Structure 1
Amino acid sequence: MRPDPTHPLPPAAFALASLLPLPLIGLGALQGGAWLWAAFLYMAVLTILLDQLIPMTASPVEATMEKAEFPAADLLLVSVALGQLAALPVAVWAIAGDSGLATGERVLLFFAAGFWFGQVAHPAAHELIHRPKRELFRLGAAVYVSLLFGQHASAHRLVHHRHVASPLDPNTARAGEGFYRFAQRAWRGSFAEGLRAETARRAQVQGSGLHPYTVYLAGSLAALLLALAIAGLPGVLVWVGLAMHAQSQILLSDYVQHYGLTRTRHPDGRLEPVGLRHSWNTAHWFSSAMMLNAPRHSDHHANPSRPFPALRLPDEEEAPRLPWPLPLACAMALMPSLWRRAIRPYLARWRPAPASPQDTAP
């Protein structure tokens, strides 16, 4: 019998699935060869194959589990974040510096590391910026700063969670909107709206220290100076390239996980509260383990402080669910026409009328 997918996965599954690529990437950077192929195939192929070929094996848990503190969960988040902060300069050296890797090996390392930064380090940083402890928040923000995307630490919490599934959220994709147009709008909009929200918040708090955006920009500049010290101008270009690779995956996740979903506006002008029906979810076990339950997105928005191992997968009658693993859905979104055709019948259930003529385009 297939286990109930609403139950959390075993803690060991998260650690194994998310951390295993990191030593493969490290060994690949130092030795090349089979290690790089293993890292690349793990991130690009194995995840999707395991999701499709092996049924979920999560064990039933006590109902009180959702109230647990999950100390091991924070330890895993810290491990992933520190691993990313160490792996990024190593990858830059191996790709742009005098590592002895062949050209093809450098390309493999670029994609393997970039996939891990965007699909594992990002979910870990995302969890950390939701933690109440200042040290954990700062570590999560440091991951985003290293990826030249520090504003995400502000915009995600102060803008996205408040305005999701409404025109006020730059990171909610409209029905019929292609990813590339969305990405430009979301990057600019989240930077501007996050800055506005942080500035407004600081105006209400005395003695709040440096503006967070000053820290984000200074940290990004320091990262690029480190890249310059590691491998000169090629190092800077590779660091920027890896950051853009990771950023594109962050934006793809936002695009897919809220595509076309909208909150109803009441007659008095107020939006309905954020609910389970305002995020797309996936039920695929291995990508959920590797991405620290990021595909259980509805429950995260409904309960932002809930630890990731306790996030629940809503019933298909309660919340939208994609039939594809999240990494595969993100790859499909890179082809706008294919994505619109594929998502249309699933979106129709949650949004009966298309938002624009584009949504009915072949």
Structure 2
Amino acid sequence: MRHYIQPFALATLVPVALLALGGVMGGAWIWAAVLYMSVFALGMDQILKVANRDGAPGVEFPAADALSATLALAHLALMPLGAAAVAGLTGLSGAERAAAFFGFGLFFGQVSNSNAHELIHRGSRVLFSLGKWVYTSMLYGHHTTAHRLLHHVHVGTPLDPNFPRKGESFYRNFARGWTGSFLQGFRVERDRIARRGKPAWTNPYVTYVGGALGLLALAWITLGPTAVLAWLGLSFYAQTQLAMVDYLQHYGLERRRLPDGSYEPQTIYHSWNTPHWFSSHMMVNAPRHSDHHANPGRPYPALRLPQEMPVLPRSLPAMGVVALWPRLWFRLMDKRVDQVLAQARAAGSDQPATGPGAASVAGSTP
């Protein structure tokens, strides 16, 4: 099934090469990396209107895991290189350092985040750990817990700290979601280890926080304080992009509360999707979000696009730009939210997206 993987490899590995060369040599390489992650990606989504085809159900994709592992290892190498380049330690000019910030930051935010998300849903301990460490390197390790144990369980409800309510700006959602997911995730993990009778130091938050501090300390020792500041800036930029994707993919699609106090089942109507060919490959099919919530353990090449799925009017990167302007975003999206929720009510929410066992797949640590 290599033919399924080749477009993903091309879209994701080209910027790795450009950033590696640009971080050291600057010049045309670093500007090419920035243009690839921004103008080129947006342009290709406009030119290639057709969606990438659905993967064959039930087929194994060993090459997909190999690509994900390669991207994770590349990220762990690019993170210190990016910090060094932005800090001016590789001889880049001021303009090239600014380009490095946006080039590396866009890659971490769009490719590394999407790939780490894929890895923390894999059944392999090695792949899961790679995803966890990618998030930890961006000082966002707690997302490993919050995404699986909070978001997948409570998506579309106030119980998900990241849920973007209709009429809520990205900026307000980001501030609320970051602290809420960190604290609620910690409580979930604390309760889990207490039920299992394990010692407190086995809480994965020890790794999330301790690992992040350890990486920053190592950067300070080997690269100096300016590189640590660059690392912090790149991490924050990557975090905002991850939060933006969550915002775009669930904005306003709230599940109805039932008379017994529970919420209606998750369905395809509770996630926004985009079918654009290039950004889908660059983000390892993260834009196929309805099917991901229906099947959290399904490998990214096999994710599908249900015909009834809610679709954003533009690609994820383009909609991210729109969401930076709340009034424009509300004007564009609020009517669409109402239409999708009306469709969900008409459908009777009789096709839950999280079938038997899916919640455990989303929430279990390999």
How does the TM-score come out when normalised to structure 1? 0.91
Counterpart amino acid of residue 248 in structure 1? T
- Provide the residue aligned with 1:337 in structure 2: 327
Which of 148, 152, 159 does residue 168 from structure 1 map onto?
159
- Provide the residue aligned with 2:182 in structure 1: 191
Indicate whether 1:71 and 2:71 are aligned.
Answer: no
Indicate whether 1:84 and 2:75 are aligned.
Answer: yes
Indicate whether 1:130 and 2:121 are aligned.
Answer: yes
- Provide the residue aligned with 1:350 in structure 2: 340
- Between 1:235-244 and 1:334-343, the stretch displaced more is 334-343
Counterpart amino acid of residue 26 in structure 2? G
- Write the distance in 2 (CA, Å) between the matches of 1:131 and 1:117: 20
Indicate whether 1:52 and 2:46 are aligned.
Answer: yes
**CA contact 2:54–2:303 (8 Å) conserved in 1:** no
Q: How does 1:235-274 map to 2 (within 5 A)?
A: 235-274=227-266
- Write the distance in 1 (CA, Å) between the matches of 2:52 and 2:123: 28
- Provide the residue aligned with 2:100 in structure 1: 109
Deviation readout 1:148-177 (Å, 9 max, x if unpaired): 001000000000000000011011100000
- Provide the residue aligned with 2:361 in structure 1: none
Instruction: Report the Cα offset of residue 59 of structure 1.
Output: 5.5
**CA contact 1:93–1:230 (8 Å) conserved in 2:** no
Q: Name the CA shift for 1:60/1:243 in 2 (closer, same or farther; >3 Å).
A: closer
Give the number of equivalent residue pairs: 340
**CA contact 2:166–2:334 (8 Å) conserved in 1:** no
**CA contact 2:135–2:141 (8 Å) conserved in 1:** yes
- Write the distance in 1 (CA, Å) between the matches of 2:111 and 2:104: 10
- Write the distance in 1 (CA, Å) between the matches of 2:238 and 2:213: 18
Instruction: Report the Cα offset of residue 55 of structure 1.
Output: 3.2
- Between 1:221-230 and 1:298-307, the stretch displaced more is 221-230
- Write the distance in 2 (CA, Å) between the matches of 1:59 and 1:138: 30
Instruction: Report the Cα offset of residue 287 of structure 1.
Output: 0.4
| Structure 1 runs of 4+ with >3 Å offset | 57-61, 206-209
Which of 270, 279, 283 does residue 291 from structure 1 map onto?
283
- Write the distance in 1 (CA, Å) between the matches of 2:118 and 2:16: 19
- Write the distance in 2 (CA, Å) between the matches of 1:132 and 1:193: 24
- Write the distance in 2 (CA, Å) between the matches of 1:175 and 1:25: 37
Which of 12, 34, 43 does residue 6 from structure 2 map onto?
12
- Write the distance in 1 (CA, Å) between the matches of 2:192 and 2:16: 37
**CA contact 1:10–1:58 (8 Å) conserved in 2:** no
- Provide the residue aligned with 1:323 in structure 2: 313
Deviation readout 1:236-261 (Å, 9 max, x if unpaired): 11000000000000000011100000
- Write the distance in 2 (CA, Å) between the matches of 1:350 and 1:233: 49
- Provide the residue aligned with 1:154 in structure 2: 145
Counterpart amino acid of residue 95 in structure 1? V
RMSD (Å), alpha carbons:
1.6
Instruction: Report the Cα offset of residue 97 of structure 1.
Output: 4.0
- Write the distance in 1 (CA, Å) between the matches of 2:203 and 2:52: 43
- Write the distance in 1 (CA, Å) between the matches of 2:137 and 2:54: 38
- Provide the residue aligned with 2:208 in structure 1: 216
Indicate whether 1:178 and 2:169 are aligned.
Answer: yes
- Write the distance in 1 (CA, Å) between the matches of 2:320 and 2:195: 39
SS at match of 1:105: helix
SS at match of 1:29: helix
- Provide the residue aligned with 2:35 in structure 1: 41
- Provide the residue aligned with 2:18 in structure 1: 24
SS at match of 1:10: helix
- Write the distance in 2 (CA, Å) between the matches of 1:30 and 1:145: 24
Instruction: Report the Cα offset of residue 278 of structure 1.
Output: 0.5
**CA contact 1:9–1:309 (8 Å) conserved in 2:** no
- Write the distance in 2 (CA, Å) between the matches of 1:60 and 1:337: 35
- Write the distance in 2 (CA, Å) between the matches of 1:210 and 1:201: 10
SS at match of 1:101: coil
**CA contact 1:9–1:289 (8 Å) conserved in 2:** no
- Provide the residue aligned with 2:353 in structure 1: none
**CA contact 2:23–2:81 (8 Å) conserved in 1:** yes
Uncovered stretches (5+) of structure 1, i.e. residues with no partner? 1-7, 353-362
- Write the distance in 1 (CA, Å) between the matches of 2:161 and 2:138: 20
Counterpart amino acid of residue 325 in structure 1? S
